[in-house]
Amino acid sequence: MTAVPYGAAMITGDLAATEAGVAPATIRKWVQLGRLAPAGKRGRAQLYRLEDVFAAERAVRGRLH
């Protein structure tokens, strides 16, 4: 995992899915495929930087059009 800049929005996979407009399984698939990397953990839950989620979503949507 990489260092997270101070003040970066860290969100759970479920919230990441909601923000990106995809299913939670899609977030897990992006991680599996290397399109998104967790930036931390809270208990057992992986946390993601909101900007990384949006970047992954833009990259995937760009491939679809």
pLDDT of residue 8: 72
pLDDT of residue 7: 63
Whole-angstrom CA distances from 39 to 28, 62, 64, 65 are 14, 23, 26, 29
pLDDT of residue 11: 97
pLDDT tens profile 2-59: 555 566 789 999 999 999 999 999 999 999 999 999 999 999 999 999 999 999 999 9
pLDDT of residue 62: 82
Residues with Cβ within 8 Å of 46's Cβ and at least 6 positions away in sequence, in order, are 12, 13, 31, 38, 40
pTM score of the predicted model: 0.81
